[in-house]
Structure 1
Amino acid sequence: MEEQDIQHATADDGTPIAFAERGVGVPVLLIAGQATGMHGWGPFADALARDFRVIVYDHRGIGESGLGDPAAYSTRAFADDAVAVLDAAGVAAAHVVGHSMGGRVAQWLAAEHPERVRRLVLIATTSGDRSAARRDPAAVADLLSGDRERMLPLFFDDGWAAAHPADVDRFFTRVATRPALRGHFAASRDHDGSAVLDRIRADTLVVHGRHDALTPVSHAHLLAERIPHATLTEFEARHGLHLDTPEVEEAVRAFLLPPGQRPAG
């Protein structure tokens, strides 16, 4: 994403939450995944900014946001930070797009603050339902290793990654302390929004890769079944499909645009 002026919201506990925006139109709030900074959205955010006012932010403990108390991190609390960002940006309601842990956060945001969410997009995420298929332990070990060479195949197609090194670098580059990283992992791991999915009123698009080793596609099926106004779209892709699969951005754009502005077909 292009360089922008960084602004700061103030969370309920006083923690500063850094955010940035570009584009004009209906606001779209992008909620990043576990320990991923605002700049990790890269070309996905750039593309949406052609039609929308795109707002991105750093979760607490990441990048230019404050640390807060890592022991208190949870996806539910992170949703309150998202509300603080909307408030600071002067946005009453936005389309909300969450990737991975950001999708977990977005579930709480849509369930507990329905008036703030226009349409909801959940990418490569889970409700946390303990009855769903478990993650591959080897994939989790690769994720926790912090070794980019081990993590990269979990997220991106090899050819795309080789052709887009700058986008890969932006996605994986982060500034965070060890306590913050541990707090993010615990928040994502412990998420369970299964009991509130039926409270989500927003029209919802669930997007998932069939080859996602970090979150099996069965988790997407559960989300689509339990969110009242949800549809599911699957792609031949991995966990980072919003970046390496152009059809994902096209599907999200079509879902968010008003009917008269949506692409034909």
Structure 2
Amino acid sequence: MFSGNDSSLQETDPEFIERFDNFAFDEVVNQDDLDDRTRFMAILATLLGCQGSDEFRMMLPAALHFGVTPVEAKEIVYQAVAYLGIGRVFPFLKITNEVLKEMGTELPLPAQATTTMENRREAGTQAQVDIFGEGMRDFWKSGPEESRHINRWLADNCFGDYYTRTGLDYRQREMITFCFLAAQGGCEPQLTSHAAANMRIGNDRAFLIKIISQCLPYIGYPRSLNALNCVNKAAEKIMKENDESGKI
């Protein structure tokens, strides 16, 4: 993972780094059967969410080594803006560009946008419907007049500008969104909603528990346990919906 990069903590904090490395890179990794590419995508998204910029700089080359492409790495950073804000993401964009250049990647990367300023709202609404269900069809024009524009922005900006891009599919985008929300904390209603969305498009409860487990060394136990609680709430809600619709 970190070929040629010896940590100074081996000299200053040998007992700590021995236990942390054994936990994060042995015990946690061997707990599940996540493929390396998915594992590192989750780690990068989690480090964005918790603002772990130094760790992100160290993990990005490892992620690229284990199969995350430059386009996928950039898409993770871009989508983070919708959930973390540019104030928190801008340093990570600079780090990503620096690391990619150091590794010989030519920038800018190939364009991934599939929408225009004219059709982004319609495309964003369709992405919301694809992920959350038909109930989102008219969400963009719902709510009190004074705040309705925010629901429109969710459709045209959050989903129309980001989710419609190539480079990551819906399942990957919902997985990294789950990581953004779990890692930053204080977003439990949105985290529960996106946990349910993950399950609806194929990232089931067992998969999300694997993601939480992988993220735990980077965000700690309280936020990981909160995320697990949100996953369980979402699973119960989906089971109840399926019961009522006769699917179970």
Q: TM-score, normalised by structure 2?
A: 0.29
More strand by share: 1
Q: TM-score, normalised by structure 1?
A: 0.27
More helix by share: 2
